[in-house]
Amino acid sequence: MRCEEIQTMLPAFADEKPVQLGVRRHLARCADCRAELDRYEALAGGLAALATTTAEPPAALLPALVDIPARRTRIEEARSHVARNRKRYLGGLAGAIAVAGAAVALRSRRVAAA
Amino acid sequence: MADELVERCKQGDEGAWRELVEATYRDVYTLCLRVLGDPDDAVEATQDAYLKAYRGLRGFRGEAMFSTWLYRVATNAAISKHRARTRRRSREAGPGDEVLEQIPARGSVEAAAGAKVEMDRLQEALQALPPLYREAVVLRDVYGLGIEELAKRLEISETAAKVRVHRGRKKLKEMLFSEDEDAV
């Protein structure tokens, strides 16, 4: 096998070690391909090591997350308030629309008269 | 400990929720930051994840460990955010220094035969990786998702998932070792 063929396979070797005899023989003989495999192994080790480190979140994040249950409660209370008073809100809305309609009608009548 | 906290949360105990968040939010934020490469997006994804987790707590039956379940929710939140961001910007600008300064990994990791990866250079290279590859490599190689699981989360075939991981590894290797190779 040629080095180009082997080197296209190397990124997969972190998941599964080469089983083909031809690949293993080539790696045993070829220092360049072994060095390349070594780089991929160092990369895999580095990436795995990242799992043990954490980033420092912004200070505002924790209070925002802790507040989620209270925020949901406030939203639910607002929803149930609207649901309880639906008729009253709808009545108010209908009244507002009627007043606006009357105002428009009055204005068009005045414009027509002028 | 976590099981007891989860049970108390289900009963509406806000103190238990606080304890649960305090114990887990750094890891969840780090996962989101590594997948997304941007602190603002990572904050939003973390908030989405906890909101979904809170809503889903009643359905959590404890078959998996709570942290595993929460990681799954967080991974999905980060992937969704990534998709939304990809739709928003066709081309992403490079990462700010702020991201790199936030992750305090130092030192190096050495392979058996001697190749060495400096951790701060690895973080830089990871942030500079195209987002599609970063997402796949982070989930596979940092957080250990299997290819089948990765493909499912990314909603792509297993072959496509493998291709993304392998290309990502190749690019990372080139970024990290190109100077060494030039010097030889």
What's the rounded mean pLDDT across residues B57-82?
86
Residue A44 structural domain: 3-50
pTM of structure? 0.73
Is B116 within a domain?
Answer: yes
Q: Pull the structure tokens for residue B39.
A: 């602190």
Is B68 within a domain?
Answer: yes
CA separation for the pair B173, B176 (Å, rounded): 5
Does residue B183 surpass a pLDDT of 60?
no
Q: A93 touching B, CB under 8 A?
A: no
How many domains does chain B fold into? 2
Q: Which one-letter amino acid corresponds to residue B184?
A: V
Q: Which residues pair with B109 in a beta bridge?
A: B117
Q: What angle do CA B127, B133, B137 make, to 5 degrees?
A: 85
Is A7 within a domain?
Answer: yes
> Domain of B117: which CATH number?
1.10.10.10
CA nearest neighbour of A15 among A42, A41, A46: A41
Is A17 within a domain?
Answer: yes
> Are A39 and A68 in the same domain?
no
Inspect the interface and report whether the beta carbons of B115 and A56 lie closer than 8 Å.
no
> Are A46 and A78 in the same domain?
no
Inspect the interface and report whether the beta carbons of A35 and B105 lie closer than 8 Å.
no
CA separation for the pair B35, B90 (Å, rounded): 17
Inspect the interface and report whether the beta carbons of A38 and B111 lie closer than 8 Å.
yes
What's the rounded mean pLDDT across residues B2-13?
85
Among B29, B60, B88, the domain boundary falls at: B88
> Are B79 and B8 in the same domain?
yes
- What single DSSP character describes residue B35? H
Residue B135 structural domain: 105-183
Is B44 within a domain?
Answer: yes
What's the rounded mean pLDDT across residues A13-33?
85
| B34 contacts on A by Cβ (under 8 Å) | 50, 55
C-alpha distances (whole Å) from A24 to each of A19, A40, B3, B60 are: 7, 16, 48, 47
Lowest mean pLDDT, pick from B69-73, B84-88, B119-123: B84-88
Phi, then psi, of B110 in degrees rounded to 5: -115, 135
> Are A46 and A65 in the same domain?
no
Q: How far is B49 from chain A (nearest CA, A)?
A: 10
Q: Give the closest of A44, A49, A66 to B18, CB-based.
A: A66
Q: Quick one: pLDDT at residue B172?
A: 94
What's the rounded mean pLDDT across residues A44-51?
91
Q: Which residues pair with B117 in a beta bridge?
A: B109
Neighbours of B96 (CB within 10 A): 12
CA separation for the pair A47, A14 (Å, rounded): 11
> Are B139 and B76 in the same domain?
no
Per-residue pLDDT band for B127 (boundaries 50, 70, 90) equals confident
What's the rounded mean pLDDT across residues A22-32?
90
CA separation for the pair A110, A114 (Å, rounded): 6
Structure confidence by residue, pLDDT tens digits, B130-178? 989 999 999 999 999 999 999 998 899 999 999 999 999 999 999 998 7
Mutate to test the interface with A, among B6, B8, B29, B135 (most CBs of A within 10 A): B29
Is B95 within a domain?
Answer: no
Q: A59 touching B, CB under 8 A?
A: no
> Domain of B11: which CATH number?
1.10.1740.10
> Are A44 and A82 in the same domain?
no
